[in-house]
Amino acid sequence: MASSAQRLQREPGRTPYPSPAMPWLPILADVLAAKRVIARTLPRTPLIEVPSFREQFGFDLFLKVESVLPTGAFKVRGGLFLMDRLPAEQKAKGVVTASTGNHGQSIAFAARAAQVTASIFVPEGANPAKVASMQQLGANVVFAGNDFADSCRAAEAFAAENGAYYVHPANEPCLIAGVGTYTLEILEDLPDAGALFVAIGGGSGVSGACLVGKAINPGLAIYGVQATGAPAAYEGWRQRKLVTLDRTDTFAEGVATREAMDLPSRIFWDKVDAVTLVSDQELKRSMVTLLERAHIVAEGAGAAALAGAISRADQLQGKKVVCVVSGGNVTLSALKAIVNEEQPW
């Protein structure tokens, strides 16, 4: 069976990637190509200012609201670009991936738009709202394993057996190029942004931000944010090696990955200014803060960027700070419990 990278349409001139499975690194030209593809389907997402933060924290806060996209997260950008680049003969065989929810919704949405069959492997106990959304979008959802890593292995096995294109949730150049388009929009709307905070799950978001942000404005400080209970990308960045954890311990499934992913790590390790860890309590307080001050519903991962910015407020004084809000898929019961449990910042 041909590798995923070999079966994906590529344009000449891309930087070689030192792996037979992933022979190219995305570059800014790929992000610009993705922008044209994505504009056919998705609206430009808003960048809104929250003035009350300056008095309390000393920086000007802007929110890039990716949660208004059809699947509630920025990942749909990458799904659309990948599906556009998939050859017709591979589309006929379908696609398969693994997800805790937001990536799976992205692939389900993009596959439906391209009339491609999609199978999504999810962990037992996956967010029921996200599972329902994937099913409503026409995907075949399969429960497999206790966590995201287990689901990935099951999806890989399915691809090998059925010839489906395995969409790795992070080691996929088209996904990174696609999600990089939100950073293009940020810098078009706010050229003098001083800092950008992005949650890290698989790492496509932060690697796309680094790819675009550092190319257009090398002075832009870029921070990744992870949960203290799932610090695989943080440890990988700190140790400069790929790290696999035995387990994760966070309620925020969008950042509950226990393996540092290869391709995103190679992109952001030397470009990101820092990776910050935040507690589950900080994530919940940030969810409540977004709801109260910006009237935005965010899941735990969607509030991670704000939690990271608040944790570094003393380093951000006087700056224009952008936090990416990606992930608005939280159940009503979970949101009610968090609102009753936590106070805003």
Taking only the tens place, the pLDDT of each residue in 59-90 is 999 999 999 999 999 999 999 999 999 999 99
- Sign of the torsion angle spanned by Cα atoms 169, 171, 177, 179: positive
How many other CB atoms are there within 10 angstroms of residue 40's CB atom? 9
Residues whose CB is less than 8 angstroms from the CB of residue 2 and which lie 6 or more positions away in sequence, other chains included = none
* Confidence class for position 170, pLDDT limits 50, 70, 90: confident
Q: Kindly tell me if the per-residue pLDDT of 125 is higher than 70.
A: yes
For 75, the token pair is: 């990942």
Q: Give the Cα separation of 152 and 266 in Å (integer).
A: 20
For 280, the token pair is: 């589950």
- Average pLDDT over every residue of 250-264: 90
Q: Residue 156 in 3-state DSSP? A: helix
- With both helix axes pointing from N to C terminus, report the angle between 102-114 and 128-136 in degrees, rounded to the nearest 10: 10
Point out the least confidently predicted range of 141-145, 155-159, 169-173: 169-173
Residues whose CB is less than 8 angstroms from the CB of residue 151 and which lie 6 or more positions away in sequence, other chains included = 98, 99, 100, 121, 122, 123, 144, 145
Give, in order, the Cα–Cα distances in Å from 154 to each of 4, 54, 99: 16, 47, 11
Residues whose CB is less than 8 angstroms from the CB of residue 129 and which lie 6 or more positions away in sequence, other chains included = 329, 330, 331
Ranges of H-type helices in 180-303: 181-189, 204-216, 232-239, 262-268, 280-294
* Confidence class for position 345, pLDDT limits 50, 70, 90: confident
* Confidence class for position 207, pLDDT limits 50, 70, 90: very high
pLDDT, position 14: 45
**pLDDT tens sequence across 33-63:** 999 999 999 999 999 999 999 999 999 999 9
Q: Give the Cα separation of 199 and 184 in Å (integer).
A: 17
CA angle 160, 268, 32 (to 5 degrees): 80
**pLDDT tens sequence across 283-306:** 999 999 999 999 999 999 999 999
- DSSP strand pairing (60-65 vs 47-50): antiparallel
- DSSP strand pairing (195-199 vs 165-167): unpaired
Backbone angles phi, psi at 7, to 5 degrees: -95, 5
Query: Is 103 in contact with 97 (CB distance < 8 Å)?
Result: yes
Rg of the chain over Cα atoms, rounded to whole angstroms, equals 18
Burial of 78 (0-12, 13-18, 19+ CB in 10 A): buried
Q: How many helices (H) and strands (E) does the chain have?
A: 15, 12
Q: Kindly tell me if the per-residue pLDDT of 7 is higher than 50.
A: no
DSSP label of 244: B
- Of the CA atoms within 13 Å of residue 293, those in its CB half-sphere come to 22
Return the percentage of the chain with pLDDT > 70, whole number. 93
- Average pLDDT over every residue of 240-264: 92
